[in-house]
Amino acid sequence: MEPGDGRIGHLGFSFHDKYEAFPKIVDAYGGWTFCQLQYNYMDTDYQAGTRGLSYAAAKGLAVIVMEPLRGGSLATPPRAVRGIFESFPDKRSPAAWGLRWVWNHPEVSLVLSGMTAMPQVEENVRAAEDAEIHVMTEAELDLIARAKEKLAERTAIPCTRCGYCMPCPNGINIPFNFELYNDAVIYEDVKEAPFRYMRFMAEGERASACVACKACEEKCPQKIPVSEWMPKVAAALEAEKK
C-alpha cells in the first residue's frame, strides 16, 4: 500500500500513556481525525484525562471515550455509593449516571461501553438518547461529585503515582501495585484487579518480589511504609495463583 492511495479515510490513535505524551502525539502528525482515550468521572486526571480531552478537541480531533464506566466498576459501585444515587429525586442506575456524565462533555464524540446482556444494551441506548451537551444540572453534577468523593474515601494506600519511589532496585512496579490494590478496595473488585495484576505485570514487578530493602521508603513524599504494604498487596491480588 502506498501512502495517500485512499485506502485509509480517517486516521486516529488509542492512548494509554501519561498525559505528557498525549499532546506530543497529537502534534506529531497533522492528519489525525480522531483519538481514543479513557475517561469517566473517577479518571479525570488519569492518563490523558480532562486535559487530554480538551486538548484533542481544541485541535479538531473527534474524541472516542473508552472505559466510561471504568470496566464496569462504576456500574456496580459499593453500597454507600449506590445509596447516594438512590437518594436523588431523578432515578437512574449508577451506570446511567456514569454515562450521562461522560455525554455531558461537548468534547466527547463517541462513547464505547462494554455490554454483555440485552438489558445493558437497552440501558446504554436510553442513556445515549437522553444525552445532551451540558444537560446536567448543578444538582446532578454535585451528585456525581459526592459519589466520587465517597469512592475516593475508600482509598487504602495514599499513593499519588508520582513515581519518586522508582526505579525500585529490585524491579518492582510500586505505583502500579498500589493502583491495582486500591482499585480492588475502592470498587470491591475481586476479579478485574487480580486479572490485571497477573496479566500486565511480569513476576519480578509484582508485590511478592519485594525484599523489604526500604530504599523506596526514603524517597516517598507520602511516607508510605511500602515494605509493610507489599505483602498485603500480594496476598490480595495473587490469591488466584494458590
- The pLDDT assigned to 50 comes to 98
Q: Residue 81 — φ and ψ, nearest 5°?
A: -75, -40
Rounded Cα distance, 225 and 212, in Å = 10
Q: Decide: residue 127, CB within 10 A, 0-12 exposed, 13-18 middle, 19+ buried.
A: buried
* 74, 75, 79, 80: CA torsion to nearest 10: 40
Comparison of pLDDT for 166 and 116, the residue scoring more: 166
180-237 pLDDT, tens digit each: 999 999 999 878 899 999 999 999 999 999 999 999 999 999 999 999 999 999 999 9
50-88 pLDDT, tens digit each: 999 999 999 999 999 999 999 889 999 999 999 999 999
42 confidence band (pLDDT: 50, 70, 90): very high
- The pLDDT assigned to 1 comes to 42
What average pLDDT does the chain have? 93
DSSP state of 131: -
For domain 11-152, say whether CATH 1.10.3720.10 is its number.
no
What are the domain boundaries of the chain? 11-152, 174-241
> Do the beta carbons of residue 37 and residue 21 sit within 8 Å?
no
Position 242 pLDDT exceeds 50: no
